[in-house]
Amino acid sequence: MSNYPSEITPREGERLTEVIKDWALAHGLTVRPPPAVITAEADPVGILATPVPVTLFPSPFPRACFDQAIKVQKAYNELYASISQDEAFLTQIVKEIGDSDDFITELWKVHLRVKEEGYVQHKSLGLFRSDYMIHQDETGSAPQIKQVEFNTIASSFGGLSSQTSLLHEYLSSTEYQLLENPIQRGVLQLPENKSTVGLAAGIRQAFIEYGPPSTSYQKCAIFLVQGGERNIFDQRHLEYELQKSQEPHIPVFRLPFAEILQHTTIVEGPGRQLLYHPPQLPSHTFEVAVIYMRSGYGPSDYPDQSAWEARYHLERSAAIKCPTVLTQVAGTKKVQQVLATPETSSNPSILPRYISKDSASISNLADTFTNIYPLDETEAGLRARKIAVDPELCKSYVLKPQREGGGNNIYRSSIPPFLKSIPESHWPSYILMELITPPPVKNTILRNGKLEHGGVICELGIYGTCIWDQQSKTILHNEQAGYLLRTKGDQSEEGGVAAGFGCMDSVSLV
């Protein structure tokens, strides 16, 4: 398998392109077409879909690394549920990020406003994703997984990921053995991927945990989305899976973030139940049990004060949020940095604060950390500043802000000029992360009908679902929920599929 996947002929490429395009369209492995492919004028009512960028073959991935990532996910769920309950720690995190990040400052104000009047919902839902890359120092050294980031809001691609795994299973049973360099059926070790089922099961469990409605209305779940969402089919797969539930039956509605105040109200009184009034079904009202946020993770969702009022409106309601403001703040890069900064006598690990000291989970978690440093005025921060502004040393690092979504990171030699372009007082809102060195892998990507062959870098995401009670400090549900493999050409430094750099992939265990 060292030469896997083998080169394919131009005709084989044409054949696989045709098969994959049709399979993807038939099975919802799709996105709305980007403007570069189809202009808005050419599709004014949004009836078109296009296959997502995808690899022709499942990429090879070390079995030991895959198993390690799967094994540690429930410990990560527990860790971030515990951090979300530690308001004192998160207060310190927000303070350290400082006024240089207006978005986090405004987000924290929402929490403080609700705290002042008192939360009425103490249960929280986390649909998490922990992202890793394989790190290999030199040829021959054992590969390890190292965490790139931990996502606590809008952890996307679960719906498309399970479809990608099914696509590669289909190709392995029908197409690969027909190639000039054939791969016989049963040779590839393709792990089952239940990401759609697993994530929907987390939302379903939160719907149950909410309890019976306390108004005269039927309960529902809300998917809080962005207007003009291109990645809609990823979300739809979760909706359709959720709606398969017969007991309980779960009505699901999509609500654009910009329309929260227009279509929801809160019942006056101590219960603060959130009511949804579907604009196309004026005779119906629903009591919202769960809000699953696929929006609200970045500044662009909050163009004005009314958007912040809308987030406050949801936060103070009785609906179970995925996530709460506290859980969203727990997902900032600063928290990841505090967890992963190398331990010293003056800077002990904070993991024992959240995970039992005698638990194997502590070492399992720590094994996945890569070196991350603050850019503040602590001892570690001052050392990191020297690295970040050094034209040679910076080449082994990436600078990250407290942001979700692709396109926000600054790499290698771009770091010194970027830091010089912003006030030094803003530096503490960034973290400096040692770049992970993945082993060489090759594959072919099908993007917008064209094939791109060459070296690729793979990023593994493991999904987890967790429900906990902030008041009783108990975890009510904790499960691993499938995986995602995103792959990008080794010349690209951003891996977000929706952002246009990467593509969907699946794992072939080696």
Catalytic site residue from 175, 229, 241, 404: 404
Can you tell me the distance from the alpha carbon of 137 to that of 278, in angstroms, rounded to the nearest whole number?
55
Interatomic CA distance for residues 120 and 269, integer angstroms:
11
Could you say which of 59, 151, 155, 162 is catalytic? 151
Among 13, 271, 298, 405, the one annotated catalytic: 405
Judged by phi (left if over 0) then psi (alpha if -120 to 50, else beta), residue 127 lies in beta
Instruction: Quote the CA–CA distance of 226 and 438 in Å, as a whole number.
Output: 34
Chain centroid to CA 403: how far? 12
Cα separation, 125 vs 207, in Å, equals 10
Active-site annotation holder among 459, 486, 496, 506: 486
Quick check: is 165 catalytic?
Answer: no
156 is an active site residue: yes
How far, rounded to the nearest angstrom, does the alpha carbon of residue 27 sit from its chain's CA centroid? 22
Which residues, 6+ apart, have CB-to-CB distance to 351 below 8 Å? 79, 339, 362, 365, 366
Q: Using CA atoms, how far apart are residues 383 and 485, in angstroms rounded to an integer?
A: 34
Active site residue 63: no
Cα torsion 472, 473, 478, 483: sign: positive
Selected catalytic residue, list 400, 429, 461, 508: 400
> How many whole angstroms from its chain centre is CA 23?
26
Q: What share of the chain is helix, strand, coil (3-state, %, to 5)?
A: 40, 25, 35
Which contiguous run of DSSP H or E holds residue 38? none
Distance CA 150, CA 181 (A): 39
End-to-end, the C-alpha distance of the chain in Å comes to: 8
Active site residue 77: no
Alpha carbon separation from 123 to 85, 116, 119, 212, 355 (Å, rounded): 11, 18, 10, 15, 20
Long-range own/partner contacts, residues 298-305 (CB < 8 A, 24 or more apart): 298/103, 298/403, 298/404, 298/405, 299/102, 299/103, 301/226, 301/257, 302/103, 302/106
Q: In the annotation, is 333 catalytic?
A: yes
The residue type of 209 is E
Q: Return d(Cα 510, Cα 1) in angstroms, integer.
A: 8
Residue 404 bears catalytic tag: yes
Q: Which of 59, 126, 149, 165 is catalytic?
A: 149
Beta strands in 152-228 (DSSP E): 218-225
Tokens 């030199």 label which residue? Answer: 138
What are the residue numbers of the active site?
129, 149, 151, 156, 333, 400, 404-405, 486
